[in-house]
Amino acid sequence: MKQLCKLQLIIRIAINRKHRTPSPASAASSSFLIIITYSSTTTIAKSLPALPRCCSSKFHLPGVGAAGVFTVSQCIYNVDGGERAVMFDQLRGGVLDKVVGEGTHFLIPVVQRPTIFDVRTKPREVPSVTGTKDLQMVNIKLRVLWRPIVEELPRIYRELGTDFDERVLPSIGNEVLKSIVAQYNAEELLSKRAEVSQRIKTEMMKRARTFHLEFDDVAITHLTFGREFMNAIEAKQVASQEAERQQWVVVRAEQERQAVVTRAEGEAEAASIITKAMEKTGNAIIEVRRIDAAKEIAGKLANSRNVVYLPNTGGGDGGSGANLLLGLDPK
- Helix (H, G, I), strand (E, B), or coil: what is residue 54? coil
Query: 17-37, pLDDT tens digit by residue?
Result: 333 444 433 333 333 333 333
- Confidence grade of residue 313 (pLDDT, cut at 50, 70, 90): low
Residue 65 predicted with pLDDT over 60: no
Residue 166 predicted with pLDDT over 50: yes
CA distance 183 to 136: 12
- Confidence grade of residue 66 (pLDDT, cut at 50, 70, 90): very low
- Confidence grade of residue 46 (pLDDT, cut at 50, 70, 90): very low
Residue 325 predicted with pLDDT over 70: no
Backbone angles phi, psi at 85, to 5 degrees: -120, 145
Query: Do 124 and 88 meet the contact criterion of CB atoms below 8 Å apart?
Result: no
Looking at per-residue pLDDT, the higher value among 154 and 47 belongs to: 154
**Model confidence, pTM:** 0.51
Of 130-139, 200-209, 234-243, 322-331, give the lowest mean pLDDT range.
322-331
- Confidence grade of residue 42 (pLDDT, cut at 50, 70, 90): very low
Mean pLDDT for 255-272 is: 87
Give me the residues paired with residue 87 across strands.
114
**117 Cβ contact partners less than 8 Å away, ≥ 6 residues apart:** 83, 84, 85, 86, 148, 153, 156, 157, 162
Mean pLDDT for 76-83 is: 92
- Confidence grade of residue 176 (pLDDT, cut at 50, 70, 90): very high
Where are the alpha helices (H) located in the chain, listed in sequence order? 24-29, 153-159, 164-181, 186-191, 193-210, 227-281, 284-302
CA distance 82 to 118: 6
Summary mean pLDDT of the chain: 74
DSSP 22: P
CA distance 42 to 7: 12
Residue 318 half-sphere exposure toward CB, CA atoms < 13 A: 0
pLDDT for the residue 137? 86
Helix-then-strand count for the chain, H and E: 7, 15
- If 0-12 CB within 10 Å is exposed, 13-18 middle and 19+ buried, where does residue 252 land? exposed
Query: Do 72 and 34 meet the contact criterion of CB atoms below 8 Å apart?
Result: no
- Helix (H, G, I), strand (E, B), or coil: what is residue 124? strand
Q: Residues of the chain with pLDDT > 70: what percent?
A: 70
- Confidence grade of residue 269 (pLDDT, cut at 50, 70, 90): confident
Residue 234 predicted with pLDDT over 80: no
Query: Do 79 and 102 meet the contact criterion of CB atoms below 8 Å apart?
Result: yes
The radius of gyration of the chain from alpha carbons, rounded to an integer in Å, stands at 52
pLDDT for the residue 153? 94
Closest CA to 180 of 133, 223, 137, 143: 133
pLDDT for the residue 156? 94
State in Å, rounded, how far the first CA of the chain is from the last one.
139
- If 0-12 CB within 10 Å is exposed, 13-18 middle and 19+ buried, where does residue 181 land? buried
Residue 43 predicted with pLDDT over 70: no
Residue 2 predicted with pLDDT over 90: no
Residue 12 predicted with pLDDT over 70: no
Query: Do 38 and 45 meet the contact criterion of CB atoms below 8 Å apart?
Result: no
- Helix (H, G, I), strand (E, B), or coil: what is residue 66? coil
Query: Do 104 and 83 meet the contact criterion of CB atoms below 8 Å apart?
Result: no
